[in-house]
Amino acid sequence: MRKKIHSIIGFQVAVVLSLGLTLHAQQKSEEELPLASPEQMWERLQKTLPPFSYTVKKDEVVRSDTDPRQKLRRIELRFISQEIDGVKMGQTGVIFMRADNSENLKPERKGKVVIVTHYLNDDTIELNYAEPIAARTGYPTMSLLMPGDNDGAKEKRDWLLYFRRLARDTQDPSNHDLF
């Protein structure tokens, strides 16, 4: 009799576990929707972005700190990347490239660039990463503040919190504060 009870209990446990695993597997497959490709995300977002334009704030030739034998072109520019509820998000970027850009016009290098982003008020990225990468590799390199500023304001915390909430609520990675 004891053997029979143990068999029945074992069977019940097996059924409950298999049902639980089956339900969990079904629930997980519904939650895990395939992510959109970068091209699909761009097509979707492009419709809501402001027209792209930029302003060159400074364009100068400087001596490289990494390799003083080289001269680099340093371009500081500003553009509006997004507008949400009438508030514009401005981005400031600094591009370093060799003063003689003829190497980058070769077919094997054309279109290849490096973008280094940095958070909030991290002023080390431009000189610790962007300038050395451009000097050592020869590729144009941009240091870009992410997520940008609120109509020129210095406080970026509101943007970060807004996008983090939006990404959490929509479960859409394109709404992330660093996208």
Q: What is the pLDDT along the chain (179 residues), one digit of tens a residue?
A: 555 444 444 444 343 444 444 555 555 444 555 777 878 877 877 777 888 889 999 999 999 999 999 999 999 999 888 777 677 888 889 999 999 988 888 899 888 899 888 776 677 888 888 999 999 999 999 998 777 777 655 555 566 777 778 778 888 776 666 65
Report the SS3 class of residue 102.
helix
pTM tops 0.75, yes or no? no
pLDDT recorded at residue 148: 74
| SS3 state of residue 128 | helix
At 128, the amino acid letter reads N
* Distance (Å, whole) CA 34 – CA 61: 46
Helical residues (DSSP H) of the chain, grouped into ranges: 2-31, 38-46, 125, 131-137, 157-170
Pairing, β 141-146 against β 114-119: parallel
Cα Rg for the chain, rounded, in angstroms?
Answer: 26
Place of tokens 């004891």: 2
Domain positions in the chain are: 2-32, 41-175
Q: What is the pLDDT of residue 136?
A: 94
Instruction: Find where tokens 């074992």 sit.
Output: 10
C-alpha span between 162 and 149 (Å, rounded): 13
Q: Which residues of 21-40 are buried (b: 16+ CB within 10 A; e: fewer)?
A: eeeeeeeeeeeeeeeeeeee
The sign of the dihedral angle between the CA atoms of 26, 172, 94, 125 is negative
User: Tokens for 73?
Assistant: 């072109």
What is the distance between the alpha carbons of residues 84 and 147, in angstroms, rounded to a whole number? 13
93/75 Cα distance (integer angstroms): 8
Tokens of 24: 């969990």
What integer pLDDT is reported at residue 177 of this predicted model? 62
State residue 137 phi and psi, 5-degree precision. -100, -25
